[in-house]
Amino acid sequence: MVGMDTPAAEVDIDARLVDRLIRAQHPDLAAPLTLVASGWDNVIYRLGTDLSVRLPRREVAVDLIRNEQRWLPVLARHVEVALPTPVRVGEPGEGYPWPWTIAPWFDGRTVADVPPSGRSGIAVPLARFMTGLHRPAPADAPRNPVRGVPLSARDQVVRRRLEMSSRPAGLLSLWESLVALPPWQGPALWLHGDPHPANFLSDGTGLAAVLDFGDLTGGDPATDLAAAWLVFDEHAREVFRSHVDADEVTWERARGWAVVMGTALAVHSDDNPRMAAIGDHALDQVLLT
């Protein structure tokens, strides 16, 4: 597959800048900083032992972090698993132009770092999380043009990705059948929006936390149910399915969403083997069931 790298950062964020921001705005929380991740949209530092700092690295992520700051305290009331609900909110300063967040630090291992055969322990708690989350979203919920929308809205971009792919031709014919399914007819439900295994944290036996709500929106719950293929193998997928409320058409649309996300990860992760592997896993799984 011919791919592309992670988007470049638009600001330089190092530990010295983050330390200055904390000492200027939240000096009582100042502590040693350790870089944890620099993803598509955000940089994350561990702050001391119990906190994390999340800062946008691209302007496109600014509204996403504001959405998290506004809505995570609301959503946390409806789910049983821990969320990165803000502890403090940071403002622009020290030459840094955007808002940022201090949130809890959760111990555990991202599910992406667990072999697919070892992920079955989170199937039931992840299903319960989604059941709690998937409730009608208010009219002022965040809008997201690439999540929760009809699959047909993603048709052209998926076809372009598949043209770049060395995947079996069966993947295109599968996509053509899935994109033709009837769209979601119910109310827009709250969605996590990015249900891949790097956004789920395992404590070794179950689900310790759900991370990264940057794609938070309202829409078709099939978007989140794509986790069935992004995260699990065939056995765990059946366990997950047995604990979510999804009719056959919604389940098949979820398979379509796994194609949407799987192709995105496979194409855009040339410099990130971990994320590329998630995309490859999802595309392998959608061809199985």
Quick one: fold of 15-104? Answer: Phosphorylase Kinase; domain 1 (3.30.200)
In the prediction, which pLDDT does 207 show? 97
- The first and second tokens of residue 95, run together, are 């030459």
d(CA 252, CA 228): 11
d(CA 219, CA 188): 4
In the prediction, which pLDDT does 5 show? 62
Q: In what order do the strands lie in the sheet with 200-202?
A: 109-110, 200-202, 207-210
Q: Which residues of the chain have pLDDT under 70?
A: 1-6, 269, 289
In the prediction, which pLDDT does 273 show? 87
Which single residue is written with the structure tokens 């069931």?
289
Would you say 57 and 9 are in contact if contact means Cβ atoms under 8 Å apart?
yes
Domain locations in the chain? 15-104, 109-286
- The first and second tokens of residue 108, run together, are 């555990």
Would you say 207 and 192 are in contact if contact means Cβ atoms under 8 Å apart?
no
Which single residue is written with the structure tokens 């940022």?
100
d(CA 197, CA 193): 12
Handedness of CA 164, 287, 278, 225 (dihedral sign): positive
In the prediction, which pLDDT does 37 show? 86
In the prediction, which pLDDT does 1 show? 40
In the prediction, which pLDDT does 4 show? 52
Would you say 131 and 244 are in contact if contact means Cβ atoms under 8 Å apart?
yes
Q: Which of 73, 109, 111 is nearest to 89 (CA)?
A: 73
d(CA 191, CA 154): 17
In the prediction, which pLDDT does 169 show? 76
d(CA 26, CA 18): 11
Look at residue 208 and give its three-state secondary structure: strand
In the prediction, which pLDDT does 162 show? 92
- The first and second tokens of residue 8, run together, are 């470049």
Would you say 269 and 275 are in contact if contact means Cβ atoms under 8 Å apart?
yes
d(CA 85, CA 68): 8
Would you say 94 and 21 are in contact if contact means Cβ atoms under 8 Å apart?
yes
d(CA 275, CA 265): 6
> Within a 10 A sphere around the Cβ of 244, how many other Cβ atoms?
21
DSSP state of 6: P
Domain spanning 109-286 has what CATH number? 3.90.1200.10
